[in-house]
């Protein structure tokens, strides 16, 4: 051998540098700006891509090795789950409804994140940024697949999970998460990573995955806690990437600061509104509860987010504009959301219910400032109506916020008894919003948001009926026609949990034993 073997292995930082800088080159047949055409039009100025440092410095060999181990561990548990009647082990069949919401609303976003990171993993000029985004793209595909595999075991036994892909593009409440990601995907690459890597992954994702997955464990759902924490082990890498992206962009040029601040304002608010669904999962849908939405917001929002924005203040960055309002709303968010789904329980692809006595006491304890005064009486009124055989189902359609697409259910920040309405005029049309922040997002980019596919508008325009349906027929039932278009199994997927097939089956499986 001519070459003397090196005595010591390369260190982590050197190995990572060889993978990124070492394998990258400047193009000569084509100018770099033609090879990477999307990184200039958003106004972000980058002077030196080599300043990008991925803190985890994972090399490809290590990446495949660790991801392979995670998969083996996960699939061993999924096999054990399937072989040992794991679907029977959950605390109560009401719990399954959180999984329905998850597969309908969250898993499709994992797939969109895979696509989004594949795109920016090609388009960024810097090799380290591309490598980090490509790994994340593979991670996100893994998350989508593992969630489908895990939930498929429940789909064999429970309703409301069989057609989630079809529903995600059509059903009224699923346009909330769908439009969130479509909004990010149709932005430029820098806005996309600020939206998803920073605002969603770093600032908000703990609120979704950490207390909720711990709640899945507490409710005996071995499958979900396993895919959840397996995904979350990648998430830690994504979160550090999110923080690195922000520091890198801010340090490159002072002119980037106001652009990034505006994106933070926008994407914090967009992401927070999507988490409305999570707030009611935690407070109302978990039969055995681990933490209230309010407590989760205090730990992962106020404390953790507070520390983050305190740290970023040295760049001239302040907390996102909607931060204070989110803090005020922590006493109200989950109650208002669940009350709305209770109303529209005939049109939802999961079951709803009024809280049990035990649930109500827990809610009183966790929400001393709001539950007994504002929300307990409302649920008790509905409970009383249901007892008399008059379970309330709202059959009219709500007005939606043009930006977040959530029905106008939120109250004024200063008055929790008054619904908050805002509006803007644009090109002689009127647009409606649930909050000042959603209005401001629209006002800054009206040409984008006038294209929103708002489910209620689409229903009224006649775009949500199956081909051949005649809306002029004398016995035409518009609500039923929309639910047919959704491919809902009417009477099985919808309505109250009380009396549902899920409830009956669960009781029978447990009563009769093996």
Residue 73 touches another protein, criterion: CB under 8 A:
yes
* Closer residue to another protein (CB): 311 or 412: 311
* Closer residue to another protein (CB): 168 or 237: 237
Residue 149 touches another protein, criterion: CB under 8 A:
no
Q: Are 176 and 277 in contact (CB under 8 A)?
A: yes
* Distance of alpha carbon 148 from alpha carbon 163, whole angstroms: 12
Residue 217 touches another protein, criterion: CB under 8 A:
yes
Among positions 85, 186, 303, 394, the unique one binding another protein when judged by CB under 8 A:
303
Single out the residue of 409, 413, 384, 392 nearest to residue 343, CA to CA: 392
Q: In this chain, which stretch among 122-130, 254-262, 309-317, 471-479 interacts with another protein, using CB under 8 A?
A: 309-317
Q: What does the block give as tokens for 112?
A: 């969109």
Q: In this chain, which stretch among 97-105, 151-159, 311-319, 438-446 interacts with another protein, using CB under 8 A?
A: 311-319
Q: Are 110 and 137 in contact (CB under 8 A)?
A: no
Torsion angle of the four alpha carbons 54, 265, 297, 422, in this order, in degrees rounded to the nearest 10: -160
Single out the residue of 350, 351, 353, 373 nearest to residue 363, CA to CA: 373
Among positions 35, 76, 88, 307, the unique one binding another protein when judged by CB under 8 A:
307
Among positions 48, 50, 69, 470, the unique one binding another protein when judged by CB under 8 A:
69
Query: What's 354's DSSP letter?
Result: P
Among positions 87, 142, 143, 237, the unique one binding another protein when judged by CB under 8 A:
237
* Closer residue to another protein (CB): 184 or 290: 290
Q: In this chain, which stretch among 95-103, 123-131, 307-315, 502-510 interacts with another protein, using CB under 8 A?
A: 307-315
* Closer residue to another protein (CB): 217 or 399: 217
Q: What does the buried/exposed string (b/e) look like for 454-480 if buried means 16 or more CB atoms within 10 Å of the residue's CB?
A: bbbeebeeeebbeeeeeeeeeeeebee
| SS3 of residue 419 by DSSP | strand
Look up tokens 């059509």; give the residue: 170
Residue 243 touches another protein, criterion: CB under 8 A:
yes
* Distance of alpha carbon 429 from alpha carbon 450, whole angstroms: 9
Residue 239 touches another protein, criterion: CB under 8 A:
yes
> What are the backbone angles phi and psi of residue 465, rounded to the nearest 5°?
-120, 150
Residue 446 touches another protein, criterion: CB under 8 A:
no
* Distance of alpha carbon 435 from alpha carbon 432, whole angstroms: 9
Residue 66 touches another protein, criterion: CB under 8 A:
yes
Residue 199 touches another protein, criterion: CB under 8 A:
no
End-to-end CA distance of the chain: 68
* Closer residue to another protein (CB): 303 or 385: 303
Q: In this chain, which stretch among 11-19, 118-126, 382-390, 458-466 interacts with another protein, using CB under 8 A?
A: 11-19
> What are the backbone angles phi and psi of residue 67, rounded to the nearest 5°?
-65, -40
Among positions 70, 270, 319, 376, the unique one binding another protein when judged by CB under 8 A:
70
Q: In this chain, which stretch among 10-18, 125-133, 407-415, 504-512 interacts with another protein, using CB under 8 A?
A: 10-18
Residue 316 touches another protein, criterion: CB under 8 A:
no
175-to-110, 112, 148, 159, 287 alpha-carbon distances in Å: 15, 14, 20, 21, 26
**Strand pairing report for 422-426 and 429-433:** antiparallel
Quote the least distance from Cβ 309 to another protein, whole Å.
Answer: 10
Among positions 7, 34, 314, 430, the unique one binding another protein when judged by CB under 8 A:
314
Query: Which chain residues interact with another protein by CB under 8 A?
Result: 11-13, 55-58, 62, 66, 69-70, 73, 206, 209-211, 213-215, 217-218, 225, 229, 232-233, 235-237, 239-240, 243, 247, 290-291, 303-304, 306-308, 310-311, 313-314
């Amino acid at each position: 051998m001519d070459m003397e073997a090196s005595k010591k292995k390369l260190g982590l930082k050197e190995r990572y540098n060889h993978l990124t800088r070492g394998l990258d080159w400047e193009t000569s047949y084509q100018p770099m700006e033609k090879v990477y055409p999307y990184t200039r039009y958003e106004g972000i100025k980058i002077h030196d891509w080599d300043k990008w440092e991925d803190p985890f410095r994972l090399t490809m060999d290590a990446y495949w090795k660790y991801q392979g181990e995670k998969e083996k561990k996960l699939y061993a548990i999924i096999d054990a789950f399937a072989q040992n009647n794991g679907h029977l082990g959950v605390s109560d069949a009401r719990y399954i409804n959180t999984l329905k919401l998850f597969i309908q609303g969250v898993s499709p976003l994992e797939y969109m994140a895979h696509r989004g990171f594949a795109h920016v993993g090609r388009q960024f000029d810097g090799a380290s940024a591309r490598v980090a985004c490509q790994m994340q793209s593979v991670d996100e595909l893994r998350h989508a697949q593992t969630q489908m595999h895990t939930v498929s075991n429940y789909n064999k036994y429970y309703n409301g999970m069989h057609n989630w892909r079809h529903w995600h593009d059509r059903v009224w409440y699923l346009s909330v998460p769908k439009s969130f990601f479509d909004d990010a995907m149709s932005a430029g690459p820098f806005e996309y990573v600020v939206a998803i890597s920073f605002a969603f992954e770093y600032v908000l994702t703990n609120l979704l995955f950490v207390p909720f997955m711990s709640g899945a464990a507490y409710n005996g759902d071995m499958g979900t806690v396993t895919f959840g924490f397996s995904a979350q082990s990648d998430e830690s890498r994504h979160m550090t990437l999110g923080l690195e992206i922000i520091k890198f962009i801010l340090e490159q040029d002072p002119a980037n600061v106001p652009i990034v601040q505006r994106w933070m304002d926008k994407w914090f608010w967009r992401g927070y509104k999507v988490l409305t669904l999570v707030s009611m999962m935690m407070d109302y849908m978990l039969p055995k509860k681990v933490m209230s939405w309010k407590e989760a917001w205090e730990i992962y929002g106020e404390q953790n987010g507070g520390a983050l924005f305190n740290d970023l203040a040295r760049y001239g960055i302040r907390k996102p504009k909607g931060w204070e309002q989110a803090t005020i709303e922590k006493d109200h968010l989950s109650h208002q959301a669940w009350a709305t789904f209770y109303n529209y329980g005939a049109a939802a692809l999961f079951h709803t219910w009024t809280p049990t006595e035990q649930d109500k006491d827990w809610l009183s304890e966790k929400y001393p400032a709001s539950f007994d005064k504002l929300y307990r009486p409302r649920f008790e009124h509905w409970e009383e109506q249901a007892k008399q055989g008059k379970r309330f189902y709202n059959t009219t359609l709500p007005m939606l916020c043009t930006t977040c697409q959530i029905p106008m259910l939120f109250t004024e920040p200063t008055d929790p008894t008054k619904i908050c309405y805002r509006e803007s005029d644009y090109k002689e049309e009127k647009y409606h919003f649930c909050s000042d922040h959603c209005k401001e997002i629209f006002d800054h980019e009206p040409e984008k948001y006038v294209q929103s596919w708002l489910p209620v508008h689409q229903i009224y325009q006649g775009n949500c009926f199956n081909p051949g349906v005649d809306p002029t027929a004398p016995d035409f039932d518009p609500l039923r026609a929309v639910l047919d278009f959704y491919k809902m199994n009417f009477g099985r997927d919808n309505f109250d949990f009380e009396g549902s097939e899920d409830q009956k089956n669960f009781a029978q499986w447990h009563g009769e034993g093996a």
